[in-house]
Amino acid sequence: MYRKGLVEMSKNYTAVYEREGDAWLVEIAEEPRVHSWGRTLAKAREHIRDALALWLEADPNKLDIVDDFRLPAAARESLQAARASRGTAERAARESMEAAARAARALTDMGLSMRDAAQVLGVSHQRVDQLLEVGDQA
């Protein structure tokens, strides 16, 4: 913490966003007197950063602002489900690549050329080369 005049300021700030009509309303949780709005999320972010910088008499690029989106329950639940699915898909993609790298290594170790290994795997010979590099780095 550091001080601006007699007002104590924290180093991290939370911007709380709420959708109202066709605009985003945003305020700083730690300093509710700092608030703004924007028709787009990007504009609301820009405006709240500028407003906080003016309030604190600070460089807007040096402010650490964390976004907190207040969404209706249905939207929040859908967002959580989407994030969980994305995590599952990313893990599956990583596991698939690792399995393909092991298969590429096994095929080339048994003497197949990269082109033949590519045909067996159903990928390009350039991809086999990439998979072998991935396998070697693991």
Domain boundaries, the chain: 2-70, 89-137
Model pTM score: 0.65
**What is the DSSP pairing of strand 64-70 with strand 12-20?**
parallel
Letter for the amino acid at 136? D
> Is the separation of the CB atoms in 101 and 135 below 8 Å?
yes
Position 138 scores a pLDDT of 64
What is the per-residue pLDDT across 20-71, written as a single tens digit (0 to 9) for each?
A: 999 999 999 999 999 999 999 999 999 999 999 999 999 999 999 999 999 9
Residue 41 to residue 45: CA distance in whole angstroms: 6
Residue 10 to residue 136: CA distance in whole angstroms: 47
Fold exhibited by the domain 2-70: Double Stranded RNA Binding Domain (3.30.160)
Q: What angle, rounded to 10 degrees, do the helices at 114-121 and 125-137 form? A: 100
